[in-house]
């Protein structure tokens, strides 16, 4: 018997006792202040959270972001901030390769990991989530920012509906990697900065 066969036989002969599925019922993590925790986690992964009450406040905050002030091509899919790229008229997503800044809608946020949920229901080219140099999301908050934030991913998945095939993803902070010698690089594969605005309405 070859060493290979001996190894495979040893693996096959290993009997691992089965265990019951732990189930999903339980006391999942919750936060006394979801807004504060979300902002803290988002900051830890390189992003910034803002709570605002008007479009004017969003624009005022964005004007403090050097990348926005210097941006030459801005895509905005949010009525609160004007862009200068006619996104609806772009048929080839490759033409978005030089977008400097994008302001996009997000549906809700997750406190435990600083993420926002986005999908392509009203987005013609989903590459717009990944190709701009800098990203901002606007999350509608009915009365308070906490209304737009769930505590954990269990609550997040309960909130999602997958009635039809559709793209969707959670985005937490700007692009980052530490694959090489554990050296963290922000913006390696996507956006170099990310701001999240909770717009109280």
Q: Does residue 32 surpass a pLDDT of 90?
A: yes
Q: Could you tell me the pLDDT band of residue 189, with boundaries at 50, 70 and 90?
A: confident
Report residue 185's pLDDT band, with 50, 70 and 90 as the boundaries: confident
Name all domains of the chain by residue range, CATH numbers in brackets: 28-84+98-200 (3.40.50.10420)
pLDDT at residue 140, as a whole number: 96
Q: Is the pLDDT of residue 188 over 90?
A: no
On the question of pLDDT at 54 being above 90, the answer is yes
pTM of the complete model beyond 0.75 = yes
What confidence tier does 64 reach under pLDDT thresholds 50, 70, 90? very high
DSSP 151: S
Evaluate whether 61 touches 198 at the Cβ level (below 8 Å).
no
Q: Given pLDDT bands bounded at 50, 70 and 90, which one contains residue 99? A: very high
Token digits for 21?
Answer: 């599925």
How many Å apart are CA 104 and CA 180, to the nearest integer? 31
């Amino acid at each position: 018997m070859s060493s290979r066969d001996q190894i495979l036989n040893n693996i096959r002969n290993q009997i691992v006792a089965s265990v019951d599925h732990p189930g999903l019922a339980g006391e999942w993590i919750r936060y006394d202040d979801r807004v504060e925790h979300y902002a803290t986690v988002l900051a830890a992964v390189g992003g910034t959270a803002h709570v605002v009450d008007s479009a004017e406040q969003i624009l005022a905050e964005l004007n403090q972001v050097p990348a926005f002030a210097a941006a030459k091509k801005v895509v905005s899919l949010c009525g609160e901030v004007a862009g200068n790229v006619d996104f609806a008229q772009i048929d080839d997503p490759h033409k978005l390769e030089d977008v400097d800044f994008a302001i996009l809608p997000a549906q809700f946020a997750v406190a435990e990991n600083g993420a926002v949920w986005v999908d392509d229901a009203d987005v013609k080219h989903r590459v717009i989530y990944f190709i701009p140099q800098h990203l901002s999301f606007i999350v509608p908050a009915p009365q308070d920012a906490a209304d737009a934030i769930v505590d954990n991913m269990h609550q997040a998945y309960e909130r999602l509906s997958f009635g039809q095939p559709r793209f969707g993803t959670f985005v937490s902070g700007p692009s980052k990697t530490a694959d090489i010698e554990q050296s963290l690089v922000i913006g390696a594969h996507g956006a170099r900065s990310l701001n999240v605005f909770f717009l109280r309405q």
